[in-house]
Structure 1
Amino acid sequence: MAETGPRTIVWTDEQRAACMKAVASAAGLVVVGAGCGVKGRSSAVAGVFDCPVVDDLRRALTDGECDAVLIASAGDFGAAASPSDAQAVLHAHQRGCGC
């Protein structure tokens, strides 16, 4: 049976990864990538989801091949008054990606 839910990138930390996997499953999301804001740890998060590694949240928002980005742990994203963070969210919205 083909997976038909929204293609979603999950951005979370390692401690929340298993919980977010359960949330994604219950919501019918098709996880097409996962990662976290801790340098060098995105592969561990993606391993929980058995999906490709995403190591750049801004890029995922800007041009990720997904329908939605589920951000459960933003890390330092948006913590400072960075125009690049706001631009990334704007690009996601403009291309129809929910976040």
Structure 2
Amino acid sequence: MAIGDPIGARLGARCVVVLIGERPGLSASDSLGCYVTFGPEPGLPDSRRNCISNIRQDGLSVEAAAGQMEALLRAMLAQGTSGVALRRAERVDPPAPALPDAQD
């Protein structure tokens, strides 16, 4: 995930997004992780990154992940930071599934 830091710095990017497939052997080998960082530069600690994980058919949908990534990028650009220092004004988690109607 840190590979985006020197590349983003060299390109003068304000933010960098790195998509990484999960390692084989984990419980969901078809899962994708998205790491988003504001102000990429070599040597940044992981605490400066935000992660969206479990992007897959039986997990977080691509559409929901894209919405979360957009919200993160907007918050990062507005606040000038990322990772644990980032304060999100609104939650961007996907809505919980609707509960079935109660039967008497």
If the TM-score is normalised by the length of the shorter chain, which range does it land in?
A: under 0.3
Larger Rg: 2
Normalized per residue, the structure richer in strand is 2
